Chain A
Amino acid sequence: GAVVSQHPSWVICKSGTSVKIECRSLDFQATTMFWYRQFPKQSLMLMATSNEGSKATYEQGVEKDKFLINHASLTLSTLTVTSAHPEDSSFYICSARPRTGGSPLHFGNGTRLTVT
């Protein structure tokens, strides 16, 4: 079945550094990928919509200069957390919409980011 892979599954970084998270669709092409963040014991909040070959669309309140999204191919989207701070510590999850559409969204297993 359709698989979405996220890498890394967890990362610890120092405050002020940048971290890149990858989201790959392994056996299908995804024209659209979505990035969510989830704080402990809370629900998922959509951060941005990533479209292949175009700029990402950010939800209200999400800093586009802090959370850089690149969707350079039909199977890969990346989220870079720039100048990370402890308050950016969270669980980041991506999902992918197949190019063919009509299928449910598939989610990656998430990336646990801890900023020290």
Chain B
Amino acid sequence: AQSVTQPDIHITVSEGASLELRCNYSYGATPYLFWYVQSPGQGLQLLLKYFSGDTLVQGIKGFEAEFKRSQSSFNLRKPSVHWSDAAEYFCAVDFDSSYKLIFGSGTRLLVRP
């Protein structure tokens, strides 16, 4: 079955520290990959996406993600976290180019001052 795994439920980092949020997915073909951020009670904001081409993609707010086909992973990174980055982060996958997204369970990011 198609699935998306975000193994970390919570992550706490200090402001200014680097960040990596993990995302793995099932299935063998190259899907479309997304990272979204959600603040409490709000909708989703797209951080970045991967469809094809360069496996390192740049997004908004200083985020980047790297697609690694061999590991079926699409990890999100940021070199220096800001307090305003505290939120819930969702990895999402479109397995069949239908734009029907399967979401991971989310990772809540807490930022220590």
Contacts and interface: CB of A to CB of B under 8 A. Distances in A.
Given A42-B105, A109-B43, 8 more contacts: A44-B90, A44-B103, A91-B41, A95-B44, A95-B101, A105-B99, A107-B46, A108-B43
A102 to B, nearest CB: 8
Interface size class of A (residues with CB under 8 A): 20 to 34
A46 B101 contact: yes
A53 B106 CA distance: 34
Interface of A: 6, 32, 34, 36, 42-46, 49, 91, 93, 95, 97, 104-110, 112
A6 B104 CA distance: 23
Q: Say whether chain A's binding surface is mostly helix, strand, loop, or mixed.
A: strand
Q: Which 6 A-B pairs have the closest CB atoms?
A: A109-B43, A107-B44, A97-B99, A44-B103, A43-B103, A110-B43
Contacts of B49: 104
B11 to A, nearest CB: 15
A43 B106 contact: yes
Interface in B70-103: 90, 99-103
A73 B86 CA distance: 37
22 contacts: A6-B43, A32-B99, A42-B105, A42-B106, A43-B106, A44-B44, A44-B90, A46-B101, A49-B100, A104-B34, A104-B46, A105-B34, A105-B46, A105-B101, A106-B46, A107-B36, A107-B43, A107-B44, A107-B46, A109-B43, A110-B41, A112-B41
